[in-house]
Amino acid sequence: MKYQFILFFSVVLLIHGSVNYYIALRGYQAIELYPMLRPYFVALMIFLSVAFFAGRLLENCCYTFFTDALIWMGSFWFAAMLYFFLFILIADILRLLDGWFSFLPGWLAPCSPRTKFILFQAAVTFIAAILAAGYFNARHPRIRQLEIGIPKNKGGAPLTIAIMSDIHLGTIIGNARFEKMVQQVNASQPDIILLPGDILDEDLKPVLRQDTGAWLLKLQSRLGVYGVTGNHEYIGGVNPACDYLEHHHIRMLRDTVVLVDNRFYLAGREDRSSRSFAGIQRKPLADILHGIDRSYPLLLMDHQPLELDEAIEAGADLQVSGHTHNGQLWPLNYITDLIYEISHGYLNKNGTHIYVSCGIGTWGPPIRIGNRPEIVLIRLVFTGN
C-alpha cells in the first residue's frame, strides 16, 4: 500500500511540474519585450509551484500563519494553473493550425513581442476575474430541496434530511466559513443531518488549533448527526479523524447499520479508499444489512457514487453520496460525468433513489466555477404499500 501511495503522488508531482514548466516557458516568452521582468517571473513561478506542498510539509512541524499563507496561495494557484494551461494550450493549437491553413489575422501570426505581452496581460486579467468570481461563488452555498416518496409505511411522518457533503474542514474551510454552514443547516430545522464523507481535510491540526469541534457540537437535529468516512479521512489518518468526530457528537457509521427512532434504518459504508490507504477491505453491503427488517425504509450513505447497482440489489430506498464536487472547476465536470454514472443530482434507478451532492466545501482551490456548493434538504414521504 505504501508503494501505491508513493507511486500516486509521484505521478501527481510529475504532472504538476510539467504543467508549471509549460506555463512558465510560455510566460517567459510572452515578456520578451521586458527582459528585466524575466528573473522575477521565474522566481514567482517557482514559488507558486511549490507553495502548497511546502505549506503542507511545514505545518507538520510548525503550524503558523506563514504555513496557512503558503497553502492559501498554492491553492489559488491550482485553479489559476488550470486556466493558464487551457489558455496557452488553445493558443498553441491555433498557432499550429494556422501554420497549415493560414486563417489568423496578420497581427497574430506571427506575434510581435508587443502583441505577445498584450495577450499575456489579457490572460492574466481574464483569469484573475474568473478566480474572483469563483471564490465569491464558493462562499455562497445554495439550499437544494427535493421531495421523495418511499412506499414503506413504517417510516411514519415525513422526514426532513439535511445533507452536507465534502465540507473539508481545515485550513481552507475554517471556523468563519463553517459557522455560516451550521447556521444555514440549523435554520432549516431538519429531523436528521447526514455528512456523507470528507468531513475533514487531510490534516487534523488546523481543526484542533481552531477548535472547529465547537461548531460541530452546534449542529442541531432531532434525531442526531451521522457521518461516514471519505477518502480524505483516510489520507489524514482515519482513526484520529473518526475519534475527533465521535467526540464532537458525530456518529460515524463504519460498515454498520442502525435503526433510527424505530422508523428507518441508516447504513454507512467505509470509503472504498480504505484498502489503498489503510489496507482495510470494506464489508460487502449485503453483509452489513444482514438480518435487518426489510419492511422499514433503508437509507444508505456511501461517499463515492460508484457501483450503484450494489445498493439497488441490497434494497436501499435512498443512497446519498458526494465526492465528485461536480468537477469543482469547469470543464472538469465533463471528466466526472465520464467517470460516474451520476456525478451530481438526483437519479431514480430501479426504484432506488440516489442523490449525489456536489458538496458544500472545496478541496484545493477555494473556488467553484461552473457549479455552486449546496446544502441538500430531502423530504422523505412514506406512502405505504
Instruction: Kindly state whether residues 131 and 53 are assigned to the same domain.
Output: yes
Average pLDDT score, the chain:
92
Instruction: Kindly state whether residues 66 and 88 are assigned to the same domain.
Output: yes
* Residue-level pLDDT at 262: 94
For the chain, the distance separating the N- and C-terminal CA atoms, rounded to the nearest angstrom, is 48
pTM here is: 0.92
Decide the pairing of beta strands 318-321 and 256-260.
unpaired
Of 137, 157, 184, the position where a domain reaches its end is 137
In degrees to the nearest 10, what's the CA dihedral of 292, 294, 297, 303?
60
* Cα(122)–Cα(84) distance, integer angstroms: 11
Tens digit of each residue's pLDDT (9 = 90 or more) over 223-253: 999 999 999 999 888 999 999 999 999 999 9
Tens digit of each residue's pLDDT (9 = 90 or more) over 169-215: 998 999 999 999 999 999 999 999 999 999 999 888 889 989 999 99
**What is the pLDDT confidence band of residue 99, given thresholds at 50, 70 and 90?**
confident
Instruction: Kindly state whether residues 253 and 321 are assigned to the same domain.
Output: yes
* Residue-level pLDDT at 79: 97
Of 72, 107, 137, the position where a domain reaches its end is 137
Mean pLDDT of 15-38: 94
Tens digit of each residue's pLDDT (9 = 90 or more) over 270-302: 999 888 888 889 999 999 999 999 999 999 999
Nearest alpha carbon to residue 373 among 300, 309, 324: 324
- Report whether pLDDT(323) > 70: yes
Instruction: Kindly state whether residues 48 and 192 are assigned to the same domain.
Output: no
- Report whether pLDDT(377) > 60: yes
Output 153 or 313, whichever has higher pLDDT: 313
Contacts of 232 (CB under 8 A, 6+ apart): 168, 197, 198, 200, 201, 202, 363
* Residue-level pLDDT at 217: 97
Instruction: Kindly state whether residues 166 and 315 are assigned to the same domain.
Output: yes
Instruction: Kindly state whether residues 54 and 156 are assigned to the same domain.
Output: no
Instruction: Kindly state whether residues 245 and 378 are assigned to the same domain.
Output: yes
- Report whether pLDDT(3) > 70: no
Instruction: Kindly state whether residues 175 and 100 are assigned to the same domain.
Output: no
* Residue-level pLDDT at 100: 84
Range(s) of the domain holding residue 215: 143-382
Q: What share of the chain is helix, strand, coil (3-state, %, to 5)?
A: 50, 15, 35
Instruction: Kindly state whether residues 96 and 216 are assigned to the same domain.
Output: no
* Residue-level pLDDT at 6: 73
**What is the pLDDT confidence band of residue 385, given thresholds at 50, 70 and 90?**
low
Phi, psi of 230, deg, nearest 5: -120, 180
224 by DSSP, 3-state: which? Answer: coil
Instruction: Kindly state whether residues 125 and 168 are assigned to the same domain.
Output: no
* Residue-level pLDDT at 153: 84
- Report whether pLDDT(105) > 80: no
**What is the pLDDT confidence band of residue 62, given thresholds at 50, 70 and 90?**
confident
* Residue-level pLDDT at 4: 62
Of 82, 108, 137, the position where a domain reaches its end is 137
* Cα(171)–Cα(313) distance, integer angstroms: 40
Cell numbers describing residue 58: 511545514
Per the structure, how many domains does the chain have?
2
Instruction: Kindly state whether residues 79 and 196 are assigned to the same domain.
Output: no
Mean pLDDT of 142-146: 96
* 172-to-110, 325, 337, 360, 363 alpha-carbon distances in Å: 43, 16, 26, 13, 8
Is the bond preceding residue 196 a cis peptide, omega within 30 degrees?
A: no
Neighbours of 346 (CB within 10 A): 14
CATH number at residue 358: 3.60.21.10
Instruction: Kindly state whether residues 188 and 39 are assigned to the same domain.
Output: no
Output 364 or 63, whichever has higher pLDDT: 364
